[in-house]
Chain A
Amino acid sequence: MSRPDRPCSRPFPKERLVSAAVLFGVLALWEVAARAGWVSRLFFPPPSFIVQTLGRMAWSGQLWTDLGYTMGRLGAGLFLGAGSGLLLGWLMGASRPVRLALDPLVAALHPMPKLALFPIFLILLGIGEASKVALLALAAFFPMLINTLAGVRQIDCVYWELAANYGARRLAMLRRVILPGSLPMSMVGLRLAANNVLVVAIAVEMLSAQEGLGATIWMAWQTLHTEELYAMLAVIGAVGICLHFIVERVTRWLMPWNNRETRNG
């Protein structure tokens, strides 16, 4: 049997080779199937054609314009939403009255599909960028808030008492206990928020934008340019991977004490 998948074990290069081989195998099979006519080229254009299309879109600049719009909205939404989720998470975690007051509201709003709220944002903020960014901020807000709140609540009470015994009050408590103590959970929240924002960004662009990856996907569908559709999906996948690694990097940089590899028993 294989070794148990412990969180602190790193994948061997050999294992990475296996995942690369599987991915490559699937793509090769797809290529052959499409070229041999086993599947419809309209629905499943061969990967080589998709790559070619991607190259054409990159060359013409359309890809970069779309990517720029999507990333701009995504970045702004993530920054505003995750930032306010973080602040409110700390506040709710540290203050019982605030927590009791807002808990039911959060419970009611969190599971609501964010796209269902889009018309309200359109009414409030118009059809420009503001309404889209606001919706994305909302998509980032809840995962961040809920994880940060849980992160603050799980800080061992010894640390609160230790800090209080040395005379830590509000601001010192926030800076030295609440913030670092909840950070591991907040970073999980950030990862979920980034994913969520990407999903909602593409969806909202399909719904009401002229530019952006989502808008181009919708256009490709309406004109039956499926190769463009697949090319955009590949780009979205790449954006997802990039976000993942950025969050990973930031996490390591912010939490040097969490770096288990330096543990010497």
Chain B
Amino acid sequence: MYNMMTNQATDLRVDSLSMRYSSPRGSVDALQGVSFHVAAGEFVALVGPSGCGKSTLLRIVAGLQSPDLGEIAFPGRQTAPKCRFVFQNHALFPWMTVRDNVAFGLEMDGMPGAERRALAGEQLAALGLADFMDHYPHELSGGMCQRAAIAQAFVTRPDVLLMDEPLRALDAQMRMVIQEDLLALWERTRPTVLYVTHDIEEALLLADRVLVMSGRPGRIREAVEVPFGRPRDLTGRNHQGIEELKWRIWKMLEQEVKQQLHMSRP
């Protein structure tokens, strides 16, 4: 039976994943021997240059794609955990109202109509979208849509939450506001989070740990512990040493990003 009140954050182990894309013009190692561990309830960000395979990695963890080699494991779980994915954009069905979109996950979990509509409504009201519940996504701004998409994932009480640059398409101010929503929602149920971004500062402000990836072949270069306490100050002003960490991570990526400018795609 469906139990909406509990979620059980779970350990996530990624074990020597490899993935190669082949095309008539050559092949790319999207991922090569990627291994890491995320503790139950930990918020981990993945940063790396574009094309380093971070999205592929996330999709494999979500089960949207299968790897060539390696495996995903959830140690200590008898049953498969509830993994939910938040996409970059197009994250809402254009043919459902915002409320039905947010209730969609609950609907798939088998929750009765009245109950799920009430729950989705509550969640939307908490995010300041009460007046837009019966609107369709195209009637909302990008920020509102992304807020609703995040609500859609959280309202199902996932054990593991996978987010693929969910704030990429938003402007800087909107982004800061939604980062705040995101952390508040996460604090409430503390699912295990894997968060892909290309924004180093965002990674440092949100996560407990930042995994820095390098591309071609895609692998984990280094894991950076984020020393800041919670709740976070999303302006970064109160966090000692954030500039230093940003600089360190940038130095790891700089060479590769510059190289990309001189390289054509295979």
> Which residues does A use to contact B, with CB under 8 Å?
156, 158-159, 161-168, 172, 176-177, 180-181, 183, 255-257, 262-264
Q: How far is A163 from B64 in the complex, measured between Cα atoms in Å?
A: 11
Q: Chain A residues with Cβ under 8 A from B105's Cβ?
A: 166-167
Total of A-B residue pairs, C-beta within 8 Å: 58
Known: A164-B64, A165-B85, A166-B104. A159 touches B93 (CB 8 A): yes
> Which residues does B use to contact A, with CB under 8 Å?
62-64, 83-85, 87, 90-91, 93-96, 104-105, 107-109, 136-139, 156
* B104/A176 in contact, CB under 8 A: yes
CB < 8 Å neighbour of A262 from B87, B91, B139: B139
Q: Chain B residues with Cβ under 8 A from A263's Cβ?
A: 138-139
Q: Chain B residues with Cβ under 8 A from A166's Cβ?
A: 84, 104-105, 108-109, 156
* A158/B64 in contact, CB under 8 A: no
* A183/B90 in contact, CB under 8 A: no
* B108/A172 in contact, CB under 8 A: yes
* B139/A180 in contact, CB under 8 A: no
Q: Chain B residues with Cβ under 8 A from A172's Cβ?
A: 107-108
A-B CB contact pairs (8 Å), 16 listed: A158-B91, A159-B93, A161-B87, A163-B104, A163-B108, A164-B64, A165-B84, A165-B85, A166-B109, A167-B108, A180-B95, A180-B96, A181-B95, A183-B95, A256-B136, A257-B96
* B95/A257 in contact, CB under 8 A: yes
- CB nearest to A160 among chain B residues: B64
Q: Chain B residues with Cβ under 8 A from A168's Cβ?
A: 108
- CB nearest to A184 among chain B residues: B95
Q: How far is A256 from B135 in the complex, measured between Cα atoms in Å?
A: 10
Q: How far is A167 from B106 in the complex, measured between Cα atoms in Å?
A: 10
* A159/B90 in contact, CB under 8 A: yes
* B104/A165 in contact, CB under 8 A: no
Q: Chain A residues with Cβ under 8 A from B139's Cβ?
A: 262-264
Question: Smallest distance from the beta carbon of A121 to chain B beta carbons, Å?
Answer: 38
Q: Chain B residues with Cβ under 8 A from A167's Cβ?
A: 105, 108-109
Question: Smallest distance from the beta carbon of B60 to chain A beta carbons, Å?
Answer: 13
Q: How far is A234 from B24 in the complex, measured between Cα atoms in Å?
A: 59
* B91/A162 in contact, CB under 8 A: yes
The 6 closest A-B pairs by CB, nearest first: A180-B95, A257-B136, A167-B108, A166-B108, A166-B105, A158-B90
Question: Smallest distance from the beta carbon of A17 to chain B beta carbons, Å?
Answer: 33
Q: Chain A residues with Cβ under 8 A from B137's Cβ?
A: 257
Question: Among B62, B83, B108, which residue has the most Cβ atoms of chain A within 10 A?
Answer: B108
Q: How far is A183 from B83 in the complex, measured between Cα atoms in Å?
A: 30
- CB nearest to A159 among chain B residues: B93
Q: How far is A176 from B105 in the complex, measured between Cα atoms in Å?
A: 12
* B136/A162 in contact, CB under 8 A: no
Q: How far is A165 from B104 in the complex, measured between Cα atoms in Å?
A: 11
Q: How far is A162 from B95 in the complex, measured between Cα atoms in Å?
A: 14
Q: How far is A177 from B100 in the complex, measured between Cα atoms in Å?
A: 13
CB < 8 Å neighbour of B87 from A162, A180, A264: A162
- CB nearest to B104 among chain A residues: A166
Q: How far is A126 from B38 in the complex, measured between Cα atoms in Å?
A: 72
Q: How far is A168 from B83 in the complex, measured between Cα atoms in Å?
A: 13
Question: Smallest distance from the beta carbon of A175 to chain B beta carbons, Å?
Answer: 10
- CB nearest to A255 among chain B residues: B95
Known: A165-B64, A165-B85, A166-B104. A180 touches B156 (CB 8 A): no
Question: Smallest distance from the beta carbon of B51 to chain A beta carbons, Å?
Answer: 19
* B138/A257 in contact, CB under 8 A: yes
Q: Chain B residues with Cβ under 8 A from A176's Cβ?
A: 93, 96, 104, 107
CB < 8 Å neighbour of A156 from B85, B90, B107: B90
* Given A165-B64, A166-B108, A176-B107, 13 new contacts (CB under 8 A): A158-B87, A158-B90, A158-B91, A161-B85, A164-B64, A165-B84, A166-B156, A168-B108, A180-B95, A180-B96, A256-B136, A262-B136, A262-B139
* B108/A180 in contact, CB under 8 A: no
Question: Smallest distance from the beta carbon of B145 to chain A beta carbons, Å?
Answer: 13
Q: Chain B residues with Cβ under 8 A from A177's Cβ?
A: 93
Q: Chain A residues with Cβ under 8 A from B156's Cβ?
A: 166
Q: How far is A156 from B96 in the complex, measured between Cα atoms in Å?
A: 15
Q: How far is A168 from B108 in the complex, measured between Cα atoms in Å?
A: 6
CB < 8 Å neighbour of A165 from B62, B107, B136: B62
